Structure 1
Amino acid sequence: MSLFRKSLASLGMGAARVDTVIQQDVLIPGDTLKVDVQVHGGKVAQQIDNIELALCCHYKEDVPTSRGDSQHRVETLTQTCVLAAWSLPYAFSIAPNDVRHFEASLALPFNTPITIGESKVWLDTRLDIALAVDPRDKDRLTVRPDPLLDGVFTALELAGLRIRQVECEAADGFALPFVQEFEFVPVSGPYHGRWRELEIVAYRDEESLKLWFEVDRHQHGLSGMLAGLLGRGELHRYCELPASLHPQQAGEQVLAFLDSYT
């Protein structure tokens, strides 16, 4: 029976399982993510070689495709990006029905996507068990803008703009293979009737918040063009805000910058 149970455990049946408990309800990029990794023993004793954690998100990428003819098409694929990965070097044996706790503090990268619209971020936890199916746990995170970006969004909202869509789009020239793109539409205020939509890409590091803008004044619509323009170096509406700036000042500077171009 013991050998049979070990065989089942190697296939994932009656094996140890992992459950990661996130200590915070809401995070902002740059925060410390505190977790309690709980390992629950199965029906047999098992050796755990390591605990692996990965912070992940999805992004969209347009990939050229061909169906064997002369016509070239573009297919939009959903890719997975590992934003950060950690290894907890805890090798241990867990007895049947035992529970072990491992606490960890993980630094959330500055450009972790904001979880609004279609943007999702999750923490993937995996137990490394030799010659067996590795147990996994997947936990969604709620990520909100940092104070500087929140100040910009607040100013845009007060000026009558509303977020319509948020997506992570593939782009070249950045540490990550994508950028997060925010699409705003004017519903009232000074830009209503002047703009059809405003697209913004935000990129943050320790020193500053970098912003790229594209404004559509016509009816054809931009919708996803900004990341492509960035990749080709064709976008020139750009401003940089120091990290020490007060959020309200950040919003005021962005509105003044947009007015100067439009």
Structure 2
Amino acid sequence: MSLFNKMLASIGIGAAKVDTNLVSERIALGGEVKGVVQIIGGSVEQTIDEIYLSLYSTYTVEVNDQKTTRQALIEKWKIVEPFTIGVNEKKEIPFSFKLPLDTPISVGKTRVWLHTGLDIKNAIDPADEDYIRIEPTPVMNAVLAAMEGIGFRLREAECEEAPLPLRRRLPFVQEFEYVPKGGMFRGKLDEVEVIFLPKSEQETEVLMQIDRRARGLGSFWAEALDLDESIVRFQATNADIPHLREKLSTLIQRYC
């Protein structure tokens, strides 16, 4: 019977199960992800070689004018050394780790989740997935609010494959695409794209691509050669928050 149970467990029947419970499913960038991994033993004793937590997101890649979706591993943590789980035994393993600053925030099409996996030799590895809501740092949130405040509307937010000059640790960047809905920029700009490159919880580099509305006889060639686009980089810190609305307005006006 024991041998039969082991054979069943090797294909996932009667094997150990895993469930992750987070203290909170809303986490700010740079904040602590805390929770407990609960393992419940199956019908046979099993050796757990590893428990790992992996943070994932999706991003789009354009191939031959077609968009496809890929998964990206943001970070992976091993939270325990090998141990044995007995028949129907319950174990709870607490964990805590800092959320990477380059994790995309939860807005638009962006989804981020935590994958919990048990590594068991000669068996199908049990797993659990939990979606989490990622919130921006205060300075990032202030930049987004300032864009709305000066007359822009967020049209789309999406993680896309990063061009080589912008590629860092991850294969993608998160882009926030704004269009003017009113005010001084309506009729002058097509869109403004914003990318954050956080340095700390208090500071971020902001990359903006300002797409002017091409006018006149040369408009066709301006758009064809991307001459109607300007790329701007600047630093924003918590100290800038009270003045970000004015700062962004003045900056964007230079490229209208």
What TM-score do you get using the length of structure 2 for normalisation? 0.86
Corresponding residue for residue 35 of structure 1: 35
Could you list the runs of 5+ residues in structure 1 that have no partner in the other structure? 64-72, 220-228
More strand by share: 2
Secondary structure of 1:131's match?
coil
| Residue 140 of structure 2 corresponds to residue 116 of structure 1 | no
Q: Distance in 2 between matches of 1:92 and 1:102?
A: 12
Do the aligned partners of 2:45 and 2:84 also contact (CA within 8 Å) in 1? yes
Secondary structure of 1:168's match?
strand
Q: Distance in 2 between matches of 1:162 and 1:244?
A: 23
User: Which aligned segments of 4 or more residues in structure 1 are displaced greater than 6 angstroms?
Assistant: none
Do the aligned partners of 1:153 and 1:251 also contact (CA within 8 Å) in 2? no
Do the aligned partners of 1:149 and 1:247 also contact (CA within 8 Å) in 2? no
Query: Considering only aligned residues, what root-mean-square deviation do their CA atoms show, in Å?
Result: 2.0
In the TM superposition, residue 256 of structure 1 has moved relative to its aligned partner by 2.2
Do the aligned partners of 1:49 and 1:128 also contact (CA within 8 Å) in 2? yes
In the TM superposition, residue 74 of structure 1 has moved relative to its aligned partner by 4.2
Moved more, 143-152 or 89-98: 89-98
Moved more, 132-141 or 179-188: 179-188
Do the aligned partners of 1:148 and 1:250 also contact (CA within 8 Å) in 2? no
Identity, % of aligned positions: 36
Cα distance change on mapping 1:3 and 1:118 into 2, 3 Å:
same
In the TM superposition, residue 168 of structure 1 has moved relative to its aligned partner by 0.7
What TM-score do you get using the length of structure 1 for normalisation? 0.84
In the TM superposition, residue 191 of structure 1 has moved relative to its aligned partner by 2.0
Amino acid at match of 1:150: N
Deviations 1:65-113 (A, max 9, x none): xxxxxxxx34433221111110113322112222111111111111100
Matches for 1:1-262 after TM superposition, within 5 Å: 1-63=1-63, 73-171=64-162, 172=164, 173-206=167-200, 208-218=203-213, 236-241=231-236, 243-262=237-256
Deviations 1:194-239 (A, max 9, x none): 22322111111127311122233338xxxxxxxxx9xxxx963221
In the TM superposition, residue 143 of structure 1 has moved relative to its aligned partner by 0.6
Q: Distance in 1 between matches of 2:61 and 2:52?
A: 27
Secondary structure of 2:192's match?
strand
Cα distance change on mapping 1:235 and 1:125 into 2, 3 Å:
farther
Deviations 1:23-55 (A, max 9, x none): 113111111111211111112221111101111
Do the aligned partners of 2:210 and 2:255 also contact (CA within 8 Å) in 1? no
Cα distance change on mapping 1:236 and 1:195 into 2, 3 Å:
closer
Could you list the runs of 5+ residues in structure 2 that have no partner in the other structure? 215-225
Moved more, 173-182 or 252-261: 252-261
